[in-house]
Structure 1
Amino acid sequence: MTSKNTKRFEDVRPGEVLPELAVPITVGLITGGAIATRDYFPGHHDLEAARALGSPHIFMNILTTNGLVQRYVESWAGPLATFTSLKIKLGAPNYPGDCMTFSGSVTRQDADTRTVEVTLSGKNSMGNHVTGTVALVLP
């Protein structure tokens, strides 16, 4: 979901905290994300295949995580923000039945390019599923 209001560069300051976003992790989210990104690795949709790999359940792919990171930042920044960089690192897997909660803050601003950097994490019951930074240009 995207905010109808876009943040303006002048209204953002380093240290500003983004609102948290809780994302329930469901079978549908994991399998739908894998299908939408054409990732047919069995561990993302086949419970028995995931278990054969030593996993307790199917698990989220990185492209779905990437999309959720973009959703999180864009819901704060608004539809007129332009992403220039999105760098993430995966940690603990996301399994169905868990919840991932995003948090983040503005860590840098560049007035010449109107760019802001957001540092974020998405945590589930096992720890950080994703950490990273996103750079975006604000009007």
Structure 2
Amino acid sequence: MITDVAVGHELPELVVPITRTMIVATAIASRDYQDVHHDPALAVERGSPDVFMNILTTNGLVGRFITDWAGPGASLRKVAIRLGAPNYPGDTMTLAGKVIANYNGVVSVHVRGVNSIGAHVTGTVTVTVMKGGR
């Protein structure tokens, strides 16, 4: 149970292939119509080598990473992330996490997502588990 997890516990990594389809579909799903997330030519014109993932997709992937580990009863209480290196098509992001606090079952995890360029996302997520959860 995550309520018993020790500070220092490392979460299993989540490897996420970054595809053009994922970048475009998740930008549209989150109603982010900025051209840099779906139009390669305009992304290049604006100084990027290609389209890149939006922050809402990153937020969703971080949430998935935590809830996959914590189980179906998990409830995200706080997500505080910062973006770094962009996620471009054809790359892979590996999410890793480490428990940094556990106070009466309110667990804080330091999260880091790295791609071939460097750290795409870093931050802290606080999660609890509802009764009947993991």
TM-score (normalizing by structure 1): 0.91
Report the Cα offset of residue 82 of structure 1. Answer: 1.2
Tell me, yes or no, if structure 1 residue 26 matches structure 2 residue 19.
yes
| One-letter code aligned to 1:9 | T
Aligned to 1:119: 110
Report the Cα offset of residue 137 of structure 1. Answer: 1.0
TM-score (normalizing by structure 2): 0.94
Whether the 8 Å CA contact 2:97–2:112 is kept in 1: the answer is: yes
Give, in whole Å, the separation in 1 of the partners of 2:95 and 2:119.
10
Aligned to 1:4: none
Deviation per CA, 1:88-135, whole angstroms, max 9, x where unpaired? 000000000000000111000112xx2000001000001000001000
From 34, 45, 49, the counterpart of 1:41? 34
| One-letter code aligned to 2:54 | N
Deviation per CA, 1:50-94, whole angstroms, max 9, x where unpaired? 000111100000000000000111110011011100010000000
From 89, 92, 99, the counterpart of 1:99? 92
Q: How many equivalent residue pairs?
A: 130
| One-letter code aligned to 1:130 | V
Whether the 8 Å CA contact 1:82–1:137 is kept in 2: the answer is: yes
Give, in whole Å, the separation in 1 of the partners of 2:63 and 2:75.
11
Give, in whole Å, the separation in 1 of the partners of 2:2 and 2:49.
44
Using the aligned pairs only, state the percent identity.
52
Which runs of 5 or more structure 2 residues have no equivalent in the other structure? none
CA RMSD of aligned residues (A): 0.8
Structure 1: which 4+ aligned runs deviate by more than 6 Å? none
From 3, 10, 14, the counterpart of 1:9? 3
